[in-house]
Structure 1
């Protein structure tokens, strides 16, 4: 085994492979930072270029693009409150307030440190605990998925701001919009137009909800604002900030690893779940949403913690963990490798090379993040009046480029107006987004579970895993009610 590892290390540690991974990381960071240009798009566009490459360099290129784009989404989320990717939406909650306080550099550094930590732990999980986590993922059925989504929805309480009632209203609106389109039995809901039959895509809703209201605020309240740009300010993360954020990083990484290993969950749900857990256990919970570095640490470590673990079901079972690993499944098969249990016997050397290459890519991610941070830092110096039209063009171009659909552009603009109205009425946007992302998974797994039991709701508490998630959800609910009562007394 040691000889095989040494041979794999020598095969990976070449200038060509390092250049390929560096190009993938850099390209992923830049694409992820552009609103609407998702990691899925980056990996899909790069796939044809891998047809003429060796198997492992081609897979490492796709993995590097995936990792780079996941981190890159935090850059625009922090600097212009426009998440480059859906998984970075949670980062805006504390990243953008920090940037407004003149601490954009601090927020970017914390995002980078957390991303690299989550990515490194995720790679270790892929190497050492792929088989046990894959077996656990196999035991997750529709009832377990449903209770997991119920537990994840308890995050709404933590991001509701001053009013839990308004947060619940926002979440209900998100669940309502999540029902637009075709359900699992072929029925259409809210199909006012033909385009609405396929539902509302996450990207235009996400960017419309966060980016467009900021542009409208610049226009509507321009007489109340100065033309001065934001300052980068202090860009150092202090030792004390790192120390108190370490727990949030480790928890976020663990949540990302577990949720990434479950097919279909994805980094967005992991980020919000980790954020909610960090807020519940933090001594600075009241500062969350106002520029708390622990919030950035939790969300960024969680979404990057999914990068390696999404490949656990792919390599161990042959089941893609998300859309991007679905594209990678095609790349594996194009090069004559079939992911699954037999791959660890027939292509063990390639597996070792992939593991070693992924560990190198974590180091390259840190270097690329440090360099691009200095480049992107100039964005904060652009006056808001000049920033608004530039961001609008990027949003429109990015959304239209995903599926060449004008309907998505209309959704972007409509959600922008809706988000601005929510701002005027002090309705928080984060609960809406959480419910919109988790709503389809919640409904689909509830209906599948009831279909399996022929309408018997007891199936929702039919296994130890469902009881665990139900108990956690009930515990969070009790804690939230106690906090609200104490707040009302004060």
Structure 2
């Protein structure tokens, strides 16, 4: 009943003029960003956050929700038309979307993608509303020791699962931990890693780090590569009527798969899309048509990767553990507006958090409306020259960062993290673990020190709770399974030994 009351209290807020305008703008920007190959929802939100400081929290979060949902659909536009996934989650859409475009069914493929994306996003938002509050109630039972292990679990999970090489993921996490310790220690007042600089005494602003790692590297890539050489497929065929009934089982199966994968940290929309496409092909009697322009091969991945969007926010909002890079950036947006992710968010600011969850549902509807009437216009965005787009992204990032504290030092710091992020990507070192470590590192440190203060310095207190033991077991599994698999692959088979 409390959940229903909170939803009813949030409804008038999200239907205010300011929030509706913010959601519309965010959705348009998100579709445009997703439609540009090389850009992503993560980058779009990272660039947006510094520009939302003067907005009310729900207005800013409504715009974030629009960008997130819109970008996931927008990635299918270049995937279908150019065989270039606009976002990583659009990879599986290429398999059947581009062959459909080659057969003159580009508009049909875009329509199927739009409807499937809207359904997936709506299901994901409902799952967020249904599952997040109960999980937050359970999280209220966590003590300082439990939060320490939880933060450690979040960092190790992302570090190990987000990279093909766990060592590189852990290296990225360590870089984030160092960055998170810069500044004055809140408990002792001592200076840490500031090197005598007054600008570093307050620590590294999370927005500076996010913008540097996620907005600058794609801009450098766009400047270094020519990715707009191909012409967009002309959509001059008449609009085709679609029989939607055969797609219903596809949407149900793919939505469930996307929600489940979204809740699991570090998997993400690209894995959800590939698994949904593969499962649909496996279960279809006409599986030999997949990869050759089968419409259901477009519906399954698009529904799954959009069902992942709000679901990946479930652990982020309730436990403060982001399950993906974009969830980490959204947590940064919450922190910027003075909202601390975790169970206390549902207790202290229920109208805002429930309002944000409702905006995920409303923007799914807006995405369908805007995509239905603006598909042709979005196609022309692909013609934007790289030489113009890359400087615009960098200039927008510089202006946004400078506007935080009117500090050129933070601008240079952002550019430094941008170059560092570009180098990490070239070396196949994931940047998401570094961002998560900056967010979760201080939480882990604070919880550990509080637990030791409560126990008088006894480490036994860290393992007294059954919740702690469950999380420790999950950490062990996370670390051991990849190492075991790597060890088995490295051992020669009996045939090789002979």
TM (normalized to structure 2)?
0.61
Q: What are the within-5 Å matches in structure 2 for residues 386-401 of structure 1?
A: none
Tell me by how many angstroms 1:179 deviates: 5.0
1:113 corresponds in structure 2 to: 115
User: Is 2:70 the counterpart of 1:72?
Assistant: no
The answer as to 2:33 corresponding to 1:31 is: yes
Q: What displacement does 1:49 show?
A: 1.6
Hey, what's the Cα distance between the residues in 2 that align with 1:4 and 1:85? 34
345, 348, 357: which one aligns with 2:347 = 345
Per-residue deviation, 1:26: 0.3
Q: CA deviation at 1:395?
A: 9.6
Match of 2:337 among 335, 338, 345: 335
Are the counterparts in 2 of residues 133 and 261 from structure 1 also a CA contact under 8 Å?
no
**Structure 1 contact 248–298 (Cα < 8 Å) conserved:** yes
Contact 1:28–1:69 (CA<8 Å) still a contact in 2? Answer: yes
Task: Output the CA distance in 2 between the equivalents of 1:355 and 1:87.
Answer: 22
Residues 82 and 324 of structure 1: CA distance in aligned 2, closer, same or farther (over 3 Å): same
Residues 400-479 of structure 1: pairs in structure 2 closer than 5 A: 457=484
Query: Is the 8 Å Cα contact of residues 400 and 408 (structure 1) preserved in structure 2?
Result: no
Distance 1:102 1:127, change over 3 A: same
* Aligned twin of 1:251: 253
1:16-68 deviations in whole A, cap 9, x for unaligned?
21111000000111111111121111101110122111111111111111111
- Residue 236 of structure 1: aligned partner: 240
8 A Cα contact 1:43 1:65, kept in partner: yes
- Give the Å deviation of 1:184: 3.5
CA contact (8 A) 1:79 1:379 kept: no
Alpha-carbon displacement from aligned partner over 1:241-279 (angstroms, at most 9, x marks no partner): x22222222221111111111221111111111111111
5+ unaligned residues in a row in structure 1: which ranges? 150-174, 187-197, 219-226, 381-386, 413-434, 441-447, 461-490
Moved more, 24-33 or 52-61: 52-61
Q: 1:247 to 1:379 in 2, by over 3 A?
A: same
Conserved 8 A contact 1:34-1:398: no
Alignment pair present for 1:272 and 2:274: yes
Unaligned runs of 5+ in 2: 140-149, 173-212, 398-414, 434-474, 488-498
- How far the C-alpha of 1:334 sits from its partner, in A, is 2.6
For 1:131 and 1:314, the matched residues in 2 are separated by 12
Partner of 1:82: 84
How large is the RMSD of aligned CA atoms in angstroms?
4.6
Conserved 8 A contact 1:99-1:232: no
For 1:480, the equivalent position in structure 2 comes to none
Pairing 1:323–2:325 present: yes
Distance 1:236 1:107, change over 3 A: same
Please report how far the alpha carbon of residue 132 of structure 1 lies from its aligned counterpart in structure 2 after TM superposition: 6.3
> Residue 316 of structure 1 contacts residue 339 of structure 1 at CA under 8 Å; is this kept in 2?
yes
CA shift for structure 1 position 12: 1.8
1:113-149 deviation digits (Å, cap 9, x = unpaired): 000000000000001122567889x8x979x989x98
TM-score norm. by structure 1 comes to 0.62
Structure 2 equivalent of residue 262 of structure 1: 264
Superposition deviation, residue 405 in structure 1: 5.9
Partner of 1:40: 42
* CA displacement, residues 171-205 of structure 1 (integer Å, 9 cap, x when unaligned): xxxx9xx559946469xxxxxxxxxxx9xx9979x
- SS of corresponding position for 2:54: coil
**Structure-2 separation of matches of 1:358 and 1:183:** 30
CA contact (8 A) 2:133 2:346 kept: no
Name the structure 2 match of 1:314. Answer: 316
Task: Assess, with a 3 A threshold, how the Cα gap between structure 1 residues 180 and 131 changes in structure 2: closer, same or farther.
Answer: closer
